[in-house]
Amino acid sequence: MPSITINGRVCEFSPGQTILQIANSHGIEIPQYCYHDGLSIVASCRICLVEIHAPNPRTGQVEPFMGGKLMPSCQQTASDGMVVYADSPKAVANQKAVMEYLLINHPLDCPVCDQSGECFLQDYSYLYGRGVSRFEEQKVKQPKKDLGTNVLLYADRCIMCTRCVRFTREVTGTSELCVTGRGNKEEIDVFPGVGLDNPLSANVVDLCPVGALLDKDFLFAQRVWFLKETPSIDGLTASGDNLWVHHNEGSVHRVKPRHNPRVNKWWIADEIRYGWKFVHSPDRLRTPGRRQYGVPVACDWPRAYDDAVGGLRAAAANGGRVALLVSPFLSCEDAFLLGTLARTIDPGAILGVGPVPTIGTDTTFPNGASPDAPNAYTIRAEKAPNARGVRRVLEALGGKVETYEGFLGALGKGTGASDVRAVVIAANAPRAWADGDLETCLGGKFVVAIDILPSRLTDRADIVLPGATWLEKCGTFENAAGLLQAFEQCIPVRDGARSEGQIALDMLAILGGADVATSRRAKVVVETTRGQVAAGATVTTPLGEPFDAGATRARMAASHASLARFTTDVSMPPAEPKASPDMAVVEL
């Protein structure tokens, strides 16, 4: 394999790679602004210039490359035997000059800038810049602009790397952004009457290396150094996009893409970035409920469990069937435990997968690209994360798994004839999900609804159990391409609610003989969430064993051969990032 030497380190590379790509893949720091792996190379910011020596093809002697001129490492492809210096006096002098030039008109507003703390201009200023500004003249003032639905431009912070412009040309193909003016009057702008309004628009905020492009939704919401980040998976569509969820003190503040070349590359759609707001909805169900003389009343968990198990058992004991409808918003582990619960109460229980919301057709960017193209990004028409995974798991439990229409048929739609006496509906949908037909078919049946938001189904149910959103629990989703991906718990479960897996385990424990009365004195379990610093704690008094997604996957694989891939093929989130302080920590 060919190799080059960068700052004294020998690095092997694949033919065609640029010097900067090789340095990045070997963890060698070369400053860079305009370069991005997902965009074309323009070599305009000039901070990555390096000194290169290369073997002369005629003599074999290593000589200064291109007469000793500094070359942009992001654009210069490597050749075997090159010797590259990004830390030579000449290269360092250029880095200082570029930094000084970029800071001439840059405002000193870091204390009020959202990018502060994750800004490349700040970091490089510290690493490569001068300690003192020599500029004494008036700085050029640029305007603040509203570019579109999600993005603001603070133009005087812009360093003209043009990443944002290239993104709208090369990835979305919408070309809303352009560069106007010349010299120190250069600005990013939109064309008159055409805002930045495409389904991937907010990715330009992630691309901007400084605080010029800002997310309206996150504006002044948090200082970034207070945020903890947890790896997650898109829980709103079938894309399986990899995410970082940024949260603090149990509240989610923003969602950003996590690079995965097999799935979402570097991007996510705006519907995923902003679609999590229902997690903090004030309408969330927090307290279990039951019907008392036909009137819905709040109750505690043991009472709700007791009534739910009693009602389901009674239905099965009287020769009736129990039916379970699992929504495609639930994880594979939830589906397995709920399916096991239904089959424990009634071995002939009817299992079904709830309706899968779909809007339009799959859309691939750049327009017209094949979904398999290296830089293609696809927005899925299917607006639920786990229809395939839920079906796969329920099918492994044996028997036919009904579609939504088939499930309604089993409940008596059209014929009015059905032997189903009790129905468990696990919804967990962020918006209205099942249609009025389901409600109509529930007449005369005992209904247990596990859900996160109130709906006509929870109004109709005999027992209501508040569930947890995907950001409040661990699990696995199978995306539209059949990829199984695990996700972490980001924030604690809303007070009073429980994950669907925990609800199923608790009810299984009651079926196994756990005493509900004594559960009121059950051991309190305090679970802290993962992250650089635990984001919070969930205090529960589980009747059964505490829910553990990894243990559930192992149980699934051990009990059903068709689920063996849940221990071998699940793509796990990255380990927790290690926080390393810039300065020595002093013990006080």
Burial tier of 225 (Cβ tally within 10 Å: 0-12, 13-18, 19+): exposed
Query: Site for ligand FES (CB under 6 A): which residue of 74, 153, 324, 493?
Result: 74
Q: Which does 210 bind (CB under 5 to 8 A by kind): ligand FES, ligand SF4, none?
A: ligand SF4
Q: How many CB atoms lie within 10 A of CB 497?
A: 25
Nearest-approach distance from CB 96 to ligand SF4, in angstroms: 20
Rg (CA), the chain: 28
Q: Which does 169 bind (CB under 5 to 8 A by kind): ligand SF4, ligand FES, none?
A: none
Return residues touching ligand SF4 (CB under 6 A): 158-164, 188, 207-210, 212-213
Q: Which does 162 bind (CB under 5 to 8 A by kind): ligand FES, ligand SF4, none?
A: ligand SF4
Nearest-approach distance from CB 5 to ligand SF4, in angstroms: 31
35 binds ligand FES (CB under 6 A): yes
Q: Which does 43 bind (CB under 5 to 8 A by kind): ligand FES, ligand SF4, none?
A: ligand FES
Nearest-approach distance from CB 111 to ligand SF4, in angstroms: 19
Distance CA 245, CA 253 (A): 8
Q: Which does 46 bind (CB under 5 to 8 A by kind): ligand SF4, ligand FES, none?
A: ligand FES
Nearest-approach distance from CB 148 to ligand SF4, in angstroms: 13
43 binds ligand FES (CB under 6 A): yes
Distance CA 213, CA 217 (A): 12
Site for ligand FES in 48-67 (CB under 6 A): 48
Nearer to ligand SF4, 375 or 567 (CB): 375
Q: Which of 103, 126, 105, 123 minimizes the C-alpha distance to 115?
A: 123
Nearer to ligand FES, 162 or 502 (CB): 162
The DSSP annotation for 171-208 comes to: TS----EEEES-GGG-EEEE-TT--B-STTTTHHHHH-
209 binds ligand FES (CB under 6 A): no
Q: Which does 159 bind (CB under 5 to 8 A by kind): ligand SF4, ligand FES, none?
A: ligand SF4
- The counts of H helices and E strands in the chain are 16, 28
Nearer to ligand SF4, 201 or 327 (CB): 201
Q: Contact at 8 Å (CB) between 537 and 528?
A: yes
Which residues fall within 8 angstroms of residue 366, CB to CB, at 6 or more apart?
170, 171, 172, 173, 375, 376
Site for ligand FES in 15-34 (CB under 6 A): 32-34
- E strand spans, 225-356: 228-233, 242-248, 251-257, 289-292, 295-298, 321-326, 350-353
Nearer to ligand FES, 102 or 341 (CB): 102
97 binds ligand FES (CB under 6 A): no
Q: Contact at 8 Å (CB) between 212 and 204?
A: no
Provide the 3-class DSSP secondary structure of residue 54.
strand
Phi-psi region of 571 (alpha: psi -120 to 50; beta: other; left: phi over 0): beta
Q: How many CB atoms lie within 10 A of CB 561?
A: 8
Q: Which does 349 bind (CB under 5 to 8 A by kind): ligand FES, ligand SF4, none?
A: none
Q: Which does 160 bind (CB under 5 to 8 A by kind): ligand SF4, ligand FES, none?
A: ligand SF4
Provide the 3-class DSSP secondary structure of residue 313.
helix
Provide the 3-class DSSP secondary structure of residue 422.
strand
Nearest-approach distance from CB 19 to ligand FES, in angstroms: 10
Nearer to ligand SF4, 82 or 204 (CB): 204
Distance CA 332, CA 392 (A): 8
Q: Contact at 8 Å (CB) between 490 and 235?
A: no
Nearer to ligand FES, 47 or 410 (CB): 47
Nearer to ligand SF4, 147 or 322 (CB): 147
Per-position x/- string for 514-553, each x denoting binding to ligand FES as judged by CB under 6 A, each - no binding: ----------------------------------------
72 binds ligand FES (CB under 6 A): yes
Nearest-approach distance from CB 164 to ligand SF4, in angstroms: 3
121 binds ligand FES (CB under 6 A): no
Q: Contact at 8 Å (CB) between 484 and 470?
A: no
Binding site for ligand FES (CB under 6 A): 32-35, 43-48, 72, 74
